[in-house]
Chain A
Amino acid sequence: MRSFLKWIAVLAVVGIAVFWFVTTPERLPDTALDGITGDPVRGELVFWAGGCASCHAAPGSEGDEKLVLAGGERFPSPFGTFVAPNISPDAENGIGGFSDLDFANAVIHGTTPNGSHYYPAFPYPSYSKATLQDVADLKAYMDALPESSTPSAPHEVGFPFNIRRTLGAWKFLYGAPDWQLDPVSDEAVERGRYLVEVWGHCGECHTDRDALGGLVRAAWLEGAPDPSGEGRVPGITPAELDWSAGDIAYYLETGFTPDFDSAGGHMARVVQSLANLPPEDRAAIAAYLQALP
């Protein structure tokens, strides 16, 4: 009996050690950004490709107000309600105190500067394959945006999801996905894949999720229930969307569908962001969507 209990104790210690190891927030090496200088002009394009303002602008912002990333938008989910934080360059309430490396760890690994996990309402699993140059460019652009002193509101998430350490296990399962479309046929599709799977984070809404909130990758971009609980986010694979490549690119520029209905909900904001990209990028997104199986 004594030795049995001893074995249980050993197993428990090993289990805790494994859990601790697996759930430790990942970071880039300290030298990861050596030799990389952010370019704010290129960073603006990354900003629009990523759609940062769609979630982080204060609710109801119009026009240039969308560049004030004060946060406050609420995102209901089966795990609780997440509230977009202030990511303006304000030193106290925004992310003005982040070093370039802090910012890169947040975007690529979902790791906070003090070494804890962000909730994946922040779509870092998609951003995990971003190039470090793009991340540095984005930081350079965002550093010059207007400051907001609005404090970030806490997320409204209940037990056990309020224990951030457990997010390490979630990341272990879903955190750094492989390319979804691989291989790619040409350069346009490759660019489209980078825009859709990484910065555009299209799969975060257009792909269904399992009981733990991870993307069901076997049903990539095939549509999903709207996280608000009402309606559906449509599928956008060739099987579900019979638009021409020109139709898709025009929609991403203007919000008009081929029969001239217009984008609504969050997609209207996505279009407002993507309209700022060069036409070749919208064409690349269309080429990628048409190349999906």
Chain B
Amino acid sequence: MTFRVLTCAIAAATGVATALFAAGHTTPEGQVVAARNAQMTLYGYHVGLLGNMAKGEVPYDADLARSTAEFLAAMAGASQDQLWVPGTEQGVVDGSRAKADIWTDPDGFAAELARFSEATQALANAAGEGLESMQGALGPVGRGCGSCHDAYRGPRN
């Protein structure tokens, strides 16, 4: 299962990378920012699948919830090093909302990433076990998004 999730993640990442070249992000820094934003879109899409079930807008589906949460956990559990390359902060590269604090406070940022990875892993374990179980585990994931965005994401450009 994990293998399949990782394959999907790699396929998605490859697709994203191809799209980046096609879109003409020619500078290396521009590519990093575009990849990061694409990762955030992937997070948002998958959290949305779960969130719409949690909100009651679509019926709960245990298999869909589990596979979606496993995708999130695989993505959050992988090394993010190539996405947070120095010199790609807001104001330096177009489209970036990354605060410079990411690089001046690497320990704090690493702690955010680690907490988020743990929360998504707990969600992957809980999501297929019923609606309430999924709703409960989605809370810490949302707080993980918010906590990191509070400290390390700059205002809308």
* B interface footprint on A224-237 (CB within 8 Å = 1, 0 otherwise): 00101011100000
Flag the segment in A150-158, A181-189, A252-260 that touches B. A252-260
- Out of B108, B139, B154, B156, name the residue touching A254 (CB < 8 Å): B139
Question: Which B107-157 residues have a C-beta within 8 angstroms of A?
Answer: 108, 138-139, 142-143, 145-147, 149-151, 153-157
Q: Is the CB of A260 within 8 A of B150?
A: no
Flag the segment in B14-22, B27-35, B45-53 that touches A. B45-53
Return B146 CB to nearest CB of chain A, in Å: 4
Q: Is the CB of B55 within 8 A of A264?
A: no
Q: Is the CB of A259 within 8 A of B48?
A: yes
User: In the bound complex, what is the Cα–Cα distance between A246 and B48 (angstroms)?
Assistant: 15
Return B6 CB to nearest CB of chain A, in Å: 23
* B interface footprint on A250-270 (CB within 8 Å = 1, 0 otherwise): 100011100111111110110
* Number of chain A residues close to chain B: CB under 8 A: 25
Q: Is the CB of B45 within 8 A of A231?
A: no
- Out of B51, B55, B146, B151, name the residue touching A271 (CB < 8 Å): B146
Contact residues in B for A275 (Cβ distance below 8 Å) = 139
- Out of B51, B142, B143, B150, name the residue touching A265 (CB < 8 Å): B150
Q: Is the CB of B44 within 8 A of A265?
A: no
User: In the bound complex, what is the Cα–Cα distance between A54 and B151 (angstroms)?
Assistant: 13
Contact residues in A for B157 (Cβ distance below 8 Å) = 231
Q: Is the CB of A272 within 8 A of B143?
A: yes
Q: Is the CB of B155 within 8 A of A256?
A: no
Point out which of A62, A262, A265, A268 has the most chain B C-beta atoms below 10 A from its C-beta: A262
User: In the bound complex, what is the Cα–Cα distance between A230 and B151 (angstroms)?
Assistant: 15
List 20 other contacts, CB 8 Å, given A232-B156, A259-B44, A260-B47.
Answer: A60-B108, A226-B155, A230-B155, A231-B156, A250-B51, A256-B48, A256-B142, A256-B145, A260-B45, A263-B149, A263-B150, A264-B149, A264-B153, A265-B149, A266-B150, A268-B147, A272-B143, A272-B146, A272-B147, A275-B139
- B residues near A (Cβ < 8 Å) are 44-45, 47-48, 51, 55, 108, 138-139, 142-143, 145-147, 149-151, 153-157
Q: Which 4 A-B pairs have the closest CB atoms?
A: A231-B155, A264-B149, A268-B146, A262-B145
